[in-house]
Amino acid sequence: MKIMQVEFVISAVEPHQYPVDALPEIALAGRSNVGKSSLINKLIQRKGLARTSSQPGKTQQLNYYRVNERLYLVDFPGYGYAKVSKVQRAQFGEMIERFLSDRDPLKMVLQIIDIRHPPSKDDCLMYDWLKHFDIPVCVVTTKADKIPRSKWDKHVKVIKETIGFKAGDQHVLFSSETGLGRDELWAVINGAIAQ
Ligand code: GTP
Ligand code: MG
């Protein structure tokens, strides 16, 4: 997709702050530090627009980016950060659950997983949640540049098996470093917002 215009809109803490213009939304979920913000920056070709937090795990907002007046990319807070308190963890759970269960404009969640490692328990729970709410998922295995190409297939297989990847979901191999998968992921996103 040719990026004509992209704009950071809001860090929403409360649902009343979510945009009301009903543009389709594509959310990104993944562990803290997995590369969500880097992936957004690569998709929209704006180095550094998506904010990277200096305090991982502390941000509880949904960051909204509007692209070409056509869709929003919604950056979720990273999960699984060890130093988060029980209260923060519960708040995160409530916010995301509410969002996933009744956010009409949400068309798809990109679940971002580091290709180097098997998915964590939190990754598996997130995937189960997405299935529970019947939300279309694209699993994006990122940081592909960090392992040799010859190992990609094997790692992807383990990741899919571990989360219980369902037929009908999509998968894209990605690297924010090299741009691998960028066009393919835009095609998936365009398909999802056309539904
Ligand atoms: P939180 O906002 O804390 O949840 O993190 P995040 O998921 O947004 O991760 P972020 O994009 O900030 O990336 C974390 C680190 O991984 C940074 O140092 C990035 O430069 C690096 N990184 C992200 N994606 C890639 C990639 O595809 N390849 C390589 N080599 N490094 C990456
Ligand atoms: Mg981030």
Whether 41 lines ligand 1, by a CB cut-off of 6 Å, is no
Residue 1, domain member (yes or no): no
Residue 113 lies in a domain: yes
CA 36 – CA 48 distance, rounded (Å): 12
Instruction: Assign residue 176 the CATH number of its domain.
Output: 3.40.50.300
Q: Which residues surround ligand 2, an ion (CB under 5 A)?
A: 36-37
Q: What residues make up the domain containing 161?
A: 6-193
**End-to-end C-alpha distance for the chain, whole angstroms:** 17
| Mean predicted lDDT score pLDDT of the chain | 91
**ipTM score for this prediction:** 0.98
Cα distances (Å, whole numbers) of residue 3 to 183, 186, 188? 12, 11, 16
Q: Measured in angstroms, how far is the CA atom of residue 81 from the centroid of ligand 2?
A: 12
126 within domain boundaries: yes
**Which stretch, 36-40, 44-48, 52-56, 159-163, has highest mean pLDDT?**
159-163
Contact present, 115 and 144 (Cβ < 8 Å): yes
182 ligand 1 Cβ < 6 A = no
Query: Measured between alpha carbons, how far is 107 from 163 in angstroms, rounded to an integer?
Result: 21
For residue 68, what pLDDT band results from cuts at 50, 70 and 90? very high
Structure tokens belonging to residue 16: 């009343």
For 149, half-sphere exposure in the C-beta direction (CA atoms, 13 angstrom radius) is 2
Task: List residues bridging with 71 in a β-sheet.
Answer: 67
Confidence tier at 55 by pLDDT (50, 70, 90): low
Number of domains in the chain: 1
Is 21 inside a domain boundary?
A: yes
